[in-house]
């Protein structure tokens, strides 16, 4: 058992020109695979190895195993988050993406942020203000929607939040195409966000 690298639901060049194929291939085959391999090493021979990755992320304090507890916990926090976040990312994007959400998610974004454009501004601002590496998240926290930035691969799941959409702000996600211009990456990324999938996640997260 253990954790495995999921296939992308589209070819590596499917998100061009918004996400270039060489960056996407390296991101998936290199970065994501490294998270999966390290997570398997961290949790092998523990009950967590056969659970969905959300389980250890939601209970980091319970990962105990004598003198290597801190090692396991630290690596699970980073690589478990990395595995979950990239798994969510690949299925958040589509060559048919872009545009705006519809239905209940659109209404909730309007209620919470004052409209879709205001929501996008919030995400862009959080991405601009995030120092170093991390993600900007749209989450359900309690009954409400929230935009929040978290460093590195720290997970909303560890804060009791339900991640709906994550924007990878690590340089490996955009540097080859956009250099240091993170704002250009954010602008390109909106063109491939699959709002139908995000809407289903929102519905599944409950009212």
Q: By beta-carbon distance, which residue lies closest to Mn ion?
A: 168
Please list, in sequence order, all residues whose beta carbon lies within 8 angstroms of the beta carbon of residue 140, skipping any fewer than 6 positions away. 146, 161, 162, 164, 202, 205, 206
Contact predicate 161/146, CB 8 Å:
yes
Give the C-alpha separation, 193 to 162, whole Å.
18
Which of 168/194 has CB closer to Mn ion? 168
**Chain length of the chain:** 207
- Looking only at residues 170 through 199 of this chain, which bind Mn ion when binding is defined by CB under 5 A? 170
> CA dihedral defined by 141, 146, 148, 154, rounded to 10 degrees?
20
Q: Rounded to the nearest whole angstrom, what is the least distance from the CB of residue 82 to Mn ion in the complex?
A: 7
Which of 185/195 has CB closer to Mn ion? 185
Which of 109/182 has CB closer to Mn ion? 182
- Looking only at residues 49 through 78 of this chain, which bind Mn ion when binding is defined by CB under 5 A? none
Which of 38/145 has CB closer to Mn ion? 38
- Looking only at residues 144 through 173 of this chain, which bind Mn ion when binding is defined by CB under 5 A? 168, 170
Q: What are phi and psi of 15, to 5 degrees?
A: -100, 5
| Residue 60 host element (H or E) | none
Q: Rounded to the nearest whole angstrom, what is the least distance from the CB of residue 89 to Mn ion in the complex?
A: 7
Q: Rounded to the nearest whole angstrom, what is the least distance from the CB of residue 115 to Mn ion in the complex?
A: 29
Give the C-alpha separation, 19 to 21, whole Å.
7
Q: Rounded to the nearest whole angstrom, what is the least distance from the CB of residue 80 to Mn ion in the complex?
A: 14
- Residues facing 45 on adjacent strands: none
Which of 116/170 has CB closer to Mn ion? 170
- Looking only at residues 111 through 130 of this chain, which bind Mn ion when binding is defined by CB under 5 A? none
Site size with Mn ion, rule: CB under 5 A: 2
Binding site for Mn ion (CB under 5 A): 168, 170
């Amino acid at each position: 058992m253990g954790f495995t690298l999921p296939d992308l639901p589209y070819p590596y060049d499917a998100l061009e020109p918004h996400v270039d194929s060489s960056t996407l291939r390296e991101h998936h085959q290199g970065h994501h695979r490294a998270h999966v391999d390290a997570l398997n090493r961290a949790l092998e021979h523990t009950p967590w190895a056969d659970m969905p990755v959300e389980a250890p992320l939601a209970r980091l304090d319970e990962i105990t195993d004598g003198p290597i507890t801190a090692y396991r916990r630290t690596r699970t926090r980073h690589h478990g988050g990395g595995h979950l976040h990239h798994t969510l990312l690949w299925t958040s994007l589509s060559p048919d993406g872009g545009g705006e959400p519809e239905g209940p998610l659109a209404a909730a974004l309007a209620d919470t942020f004052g409209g879709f454009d205001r929501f996008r501004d919030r995400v862009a601002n959080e991405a601009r203000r995030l120092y170093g590496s991390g993600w900007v998240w749209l989450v359900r926290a309690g009954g409400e929607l929230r935009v929040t930035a978290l460093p590195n691969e720290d997970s909303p799941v560890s804060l009791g939040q339900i991640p709906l959409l994550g924007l990878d702000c690590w340089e490996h996600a955009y540097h080859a195409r956009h250099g240091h211009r993170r704002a250009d990456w954010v602008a390109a990324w909106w063109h491939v966000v699959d709002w139908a999938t995000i809407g289903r996640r929102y519905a599944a997260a409950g009212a």
